A and B are shown apart, each in its own frame.
Chain A
Amino acid sequence: GQQLNQSPQSMFIQEGEDVSMNCTSSSIFNTWLWYKQDPGEGPVLLIALYKAGELTSNGRLTAQFGITRKDSFLNISASIPSDVGIYFCAGPSNFGNEKLTFGTGTRLTIIP
């Protein structure tokens, strides 16, 4: 089946730093979604991308749909303590648009 690999697996940064993470797939995706999961809660959608090359922002977050359609990137500028959590990329599986495959996640920790 499809696999989505995220890197890095974890990040330790200081408040105020910018963050970059990416997600790569073994196959082409037509939609890329980025979710964030806070401790003890379910994932929440941050950004959705629908077209190759698309660059979309949501506040301090910016995500890009890679030209090859096999990757996507998420950047967070000027990180703050509430950015702590696990970030997941996701996309529809091969077997139907309803099913999402989730990436392995990037755990972000902010050092005070």
Chain B
Amino acid sequence: DAGVIQSPRHEVTEMGQEVTLRCKPISGHNSLFWYRQTMMRGLELLIYFNNNVPIDDSGMPEDRFSAKMPNASFSTLKIQPSEPRDSAVYFCASTLTANSNQPQHFGDGTRLSIL
């Protein structure tokens, strides 16, 4: 079975450029989460969706960050304009239902470096 698929796996770009990270959740999963992982702050939840609807974006750092889920099988996280402090590993996770008793399945992440 395919797990959560993220692309690209690595992205290196210059500051000021737009960055788009992509995620395909596990088929049939109704909740999708975007996380950011850094050495300093650990694993932080940025935003999550239930049934394609954004439920809580309180973790999104600032207006430069936006996320969409146009359908049940695809989500994007966009940073525009990017800054060096955005460098981190970004993970997408999905779960069957909106209940923490359901395990979240993580993708392998996108390692983002902003120069």
Binding site for B on A (CB under 8 A): 31, 33, 40-45, 48, 50, 88, 91-92, 95-100, 102-105
Binding site of B, secondary structure by majority: helix, strand, loop or mixed? strand
CB <8 Å contact, A98 and B48:
yes
By a CB distance below 8 angstroms, the chain B residues around A40 are 108-109
Expressed in whole angstroms, the Cα–Cα distance for A40 and B109 within the complex equals 8
Contacts A42-B93, A42-B106, A105-B42 hold; do A99 and B101 have CB atoms under 8 A apart?
no
Contacts A50-B101, A88-B43 hold; do A99 and B107 have CB atoms under 8 A apart?
no
Contacts A42-B93, A50-B101, A91-B100 hold; do A99 and B106 have CB atoms under 8 A apart?
no
Binding site for A on B (CB under 8 A): 4, 31, 42-43, 45, 48, 50, 55-56, 91, 93, 98-101, 103-109
CB <8 Å contact, B43 and A43:
yes
Contacts A31-B101, A45-B104, A48-B101 hold; do A99 and B45 have CB atoms under 8 A apart?
yes
Expressed in whole angstroms, the Cα–Cα distance for A98 and B107 within the complex equals 18
By a CB distance below 8 angstroms, the chain B residues around A105 are 42-43
Contact of B100 among A41, A43, A97, A102 (CB under 8 A): A97
CB <8 Å contact, A98 and B98:
yes
Expressed in whole angstroms, the Cα–Cα distance for A52 and B48 within the complex equals 28
